[in-house]
Amino acid sequence: MSEFEVTRKDVDDISIVYLKGYLDAHTAPEFETALQQLVDEERVKIVVNLAKLAYISSAGLGVFMGFIEDIRQKDGDIKLAEPTEKVFRVFDLLGFPVLYEIVSKESEAVDKYKKG
Amino acid sequence: MKRGCIIVSAGGLLLAAALGTLFENRVFTGRFTAAEIVAGAAILLLYWGFVHLEQSADRTLLQKIGQLGLYVLLLLIALVLLEQYSGTRTWDAAGAGDAPGIVWYLVFAAAVYVTVRMLIFIQGLIFVDQSRRTSGMFYLLTVVMVLRIVQTFFTLESGPESGGFGWDREFDFSNATGVLTVLFLLLAVLNGFRCKWIHYLNRRQKIAILFAGTAVNIIAGIAGGSLAGTVTRFSITAGIFIRDTHTFFMIYSGLGLAGILLQLPSAGIMDRRMRQIRYLQNLGAELGSIIEKGELLSTSCVLAANIVNADVTWIELKAGAGYRLAWSAGLSCQYMEELPADMKADLRELIDAANPSLLINNVPRDTVCRRMAAGMVKAGSVLAAPLTFKETLRGYIYAVNHDRFGFSEENRGLFRAFADQVGVALENARLAQVSIEQEVYREELKLAHNAQMRLLPQKMPAIAGIELDAFCITANEIGGDFYDIIQVGPERTDIVIGDVSGKGASAAFYMAEMKGLVQALARHHACPVEILTEINGFVKTHFEKDTFVTMIYSMLYHRERKLVLARAGHPPVALVRRDKAEWLEPAGIGLGLATNDIMTRILKKQELSLVEGDTIVYLTDGLIEARNRDGEEFGEDRLKHILLDMDDLPAADASGLIRGHMQAFIGDVPQHDDVTLFILRLPADAPNNKERD
């Protein structure tokens, strides 16, 4: 039931992380590991593509919070792209749009990094 | 059992009929095919019936042999007496001599009966520890016996008495007779080697059976010949059956007795082995029942000393990279601890290589253990074995005897077998310990759950004209959902609902902290936004980075019928008014996500004038996100429909209804998040309470 997958694509200095399935307390560590890996590699311009994310729980949301300050201190950011309506509703209720850039196209997020 | 009785009775009746017919009508030149067939069928039925009957065998082998011997002996005596009385050795053409025909008839019937019993008896012995080939071999023999009967019947030319039954005829290879005889003897001998029953006899039983068996063998030999010769005179089937079975019995028992004779010299040792095995089995059961490790070790040391007759025993167990002395018997631990470490290490290597266990007979002369003899103990010989469970080494067990050559070769196997039992028992004890710890953990979780549930309001305050009700179902024993009701003065009641991110113990701790914080702040602030901002500062500073809290803080003013609320990232509140349901969703952000500056900028409060008939529903995301078997979510829309259908249900019934709907929706799928719901309702027909104070 908690099928979850994290894949990653690097474009220049930007890394795109694709989430798929259910991100909850059980699968959050997997996402955490992926982000930690990026931070360790000093790749802090991150786009998280949410197109295939079916569900996100509070533990999953917590992962973003655990990293965002650290990444922003390193002049990086986490931008969220292509959330489904349902997932966006969760982000919206929590007030994420105030804190994170959420865009409807992955390329949009990438462009924003490129423009600096 | 019952079936066996019926078959035996039927067989007996048939036998009586067949023998009766043959007896009355036997003319030496004729054959009575029908009667012979009936006799054969009767014998088969008797055999079959007895196979069923014999299953309940509680008599010992010796008793069985004795019984069989007695039967055969009685038959023999009857026959001899009959011959004496009749003056003729066989029943012949002139009639039954002076003896009445019925007496002969009875003796013959009895002979058939006893012979069937004899065949069953042998079969029982052959089938001890049988393999598939064993039973096949036996049944093949019976088939050959049947063939011999049929063949004899058709080759005897002019009545039984002229055919003769000497071995000349038996080995006549001009027809099938000779071949069948050889086949019969061969199979009889082959079956004779199936005598595993001997292994289960102790020395005394072997001797007793040797004597009894020899006696019965001789009696059967004599009786078989006499009976067969006589019976064959009037029934070929019965006669040949009797003779062949007796021959088979003699061959089988002869080989069996020879086997016993050969094993007699080693019977004493075998007995001791058997006793040791039984002793070890009991020991295993005894050790297995001890789950306290210390008791297990002490018992093992004492038992080990008893088993191999040692003066000192000790057990050392793996501890980290090395070993530590776990228990000893017969001497203070000091001795073992003072043994040089390098010698102990060498010894362990020797034990690992030894099979089944390490035996050093002459310690003072041993290159490795010499130093052992110099210690406080007079060590003459040492026996040692590893303690393992499924290939995993747990430690070693040692036994020391003051005398040189104090242990026998036999002790080596025994000691290892014992060590293996201790290894298993140690694992048992470990598993028992683990399960006890788990039980304690579960018990503690339950206590934590109860403690957490007590943090929730135990009863709703009574406010005139307002109904309140709530439920909270945790997914695990402890969770992060909470709600609270704080009465701030006579005119204001604060209603709070919240959810700490994550699950389990940490979420539960933070939840308890929230309760305290809310209770403290409520009295000092008159605006929900202020309270939420205060809490935000606390969460941001004191909670882990990835932990946040969502909350709705609302203030209910009794007199004004006014509700002021602010939402910190929490799912919105539902307002049901007349035939409409809407979500109250003032702007907000989860607690702990952002700084207080951002918080005050974003958070908006919403004011609501309540009218009679209004229902306000607070909930946590666990309700909206509850999933059924197909992964479908309960969802905001489904809830909205339920809320609209509630009409004027009292708050308690309404919360019960929603709870019922949710549980029916998820069915038997385990709940994956806490679900909390709080209902506030102004009944339409509520009495005016404005004059309350």
Specify the pLDDT at position B538.
94
Give the minimum alpha-carbon distance from B448 to chain A in angstroms, rounded to a whole number: 20
DSSP state of B633: B
Phi, psi of B431 (to 5 degrees): -60, -40
Inform me whether the C-beta atom of residue A92 falls under 8 Å from chain B C-beta atoms.
no
**Region of poorest pLDDT, from B68-82, B272-286, B341-355:** B272-286
Average confidence (pLDDT) over B478-497 = 91
H or E element at residue B85 = helix B61-86
Specify the pLDDT at position B260.
87
**How remote is the C-alpha of B114 from its chain's centroid?**
44
Is the CB of B572 less than 8 angstroms away from the CB of A59?
Answer: no
A vs B, Cβ pairs < 8 A, gives: 69
Specify the pLDDT at position B522.
93
Fold of B460-681: Phosphatase 2c; domain 1 (3.60.40)
What are the tokens at B376? Answer: 């406080």
Residue B689 confidence (pLDDT) above 50: no
Q: Where residue B36 falls among pLDDT bands split at 50, 70, 90? A: confident
Specify the pLDDT at position A14.
93
Average confidence (pLDDT) over B449-461 = 88
Residues B285-319: pLDDT tens digits?
788 788 888 888 988 888 888 888 888 899 999 88
Mutate which: B474, B476, B497, B501, vs A, most A CBs within 10 A:
B501
Specify the pLDDT at position A102.
95
Specify the pLDDT at position B28.
40
Residue B166 confidence (pLDDT) above 60: no
Rounded to whole angstroms, the Cα distance separating B481 from B673 reads: 9
Residues 31-90 of A with CB under 8 A from B: 55, 57-59, 61-63, 65-66, 69, 90
Which amino acid does the sequence have at B184?
F
Specify the pLDDT at position B276.
76
Specify the pLDDT at position B691.
41
Residue of A nearest to B501 (CA): A58
Residue B376 confidence (pLDDT) above 70: no
Residue B158 confidence (pLDDT) above 50: no
Is the CB of A59 less than 8 angstroms away from the CB of B501?
Answer: yes
Nearest to B588 among A57, A95, A99 (CB): A95
Question: What's the number of domains chain A is made of?
Answer: 1
Residues B65-103: pLDDT tens digits?
888 889 888 988 888 887 777 655 444 444 444 556 667
Residue ranges of domains in chain B:
61-260, 293-433, 460-681
Residues B625-680: pLDDT tens digits?
898 888 888 988 899 999 988 878 899 999 999 999 999 999 888 888 889 999 99
B501 contacts on A by Cβ (under 8 Å): 58-59, 61-62
Helix (H/G/I), strand (E/B), else coil: B367: coil
**Region of poorest pLDDT, from B171-180, B195-204, B515-524:** B171-180
Inform me whether the C-beta atom of residue A97 falls under 8 Å from chain B C-beta atoms.
no
H or E element at residue B313 = strand B312-319
Report which of residues B136 and B478 the model is more confident about.
Answer: B136
Residue A43 counted as domain residue: yes
What are the tokens at B551? Answer: 């909350």
Inform me whether the C-beta atom of residue A98 falls under 8 Å from chain B C-beta atoms.
yes
List the one residue out of B366, B39, B594 whose CA is nearest residue A96.
B594
Rounded to whole angstroms, the Cα distance separating A101 from A79 reads: 5
Residues linked to residue B573 through DSSP beta bridges, in sequence order:
B584
What CATH number was assigned to the domain covering residues B293-433?
3.30.450.40
Report which of residues A88 and B390 the model is more confident about.
Answer: A88
Mean pLDDT over each residue of chain B, to the nearest integer: 83
Answer yes or no: are the C-beta atoms of B580 and B535 closer than 8 Å: no
A55 contacts on B by Cβ (under 8 Å): 625
What are the tokens at B18? Answer: 């067949």
H or E element at residue B486 = strand B481-488
CATH of the domain at A95: 3.30.750.24
Rounded to whole angstroms, the Cα distance separating B553 from B597 reads: 19
Residue A40 counted as domain residue: yes
B621 contacts on A by Cβ (under 8 Å): 58, 90
Q: Where residue B503 falls among pLDDT bands split at 50, 70, 90? A: confident
Give the minimum alpha-carbon distance from A59 to chain B in angstroms, rounded to a whole number: 5
Residue of A nearest to B550 (CA): A94
Rounded to whole angstroms, the Cα distance separating B511 from B481 reads: 7
The CB density around residue B389, as the number of other CB atoms within 10 Å, is 16
Residue A116 counted as domain residue: no
Residues B570-605: pLDDT tens digits?
999 999 998 889 999 999 999 999 999 999 999 999
- Those residues of chain A that have pLDDT short of 70 are 1-2
What are the tokens at B596? Answer: 């207080």
Taking each helix axis from N to C end, the angle separating A28-40 and A58-73, rounded to the nearest 10 degrees, works out to 10
What domain range is A48 assigned to?
4-110
ipTM exceeding 0.90, yes/no? yes
Residues linked to residue B322 through DSSP beta bridges, in sequence order:
B319
Report which of residues B507 and B231 the model is more confident about.
Answer: B507
Nearest to B546 among A66, A93, A95 (CB): A66
Rounded to whole angstroms, the Cα distance separating B353 from B368 reads: 14
Is the CB of B502 less than 8 angstroms away from the CB of A59?
Answer: yes
- Mind spelling out the 3-state secondary structure of chain A? CCCEEEEEEEECCEEEEEEEEEECCCCHHHHHHHHHHHHHCCCCEEEEEEEEEEEECHHHHHHHHHHHHHHHHCCCEEEEECCCHHHHHHHHHHCHHHHCEEECCHHHHHHHHHHC
Residue B160 confidence (pLDDT) above 50: no
Is the CB of A69 less than 8 angstroms away from the CB of B545?
Answer: yes
B572 contacts on A by Cβ (under 8 Å): 93
Residue A115 counted as domain residue: no
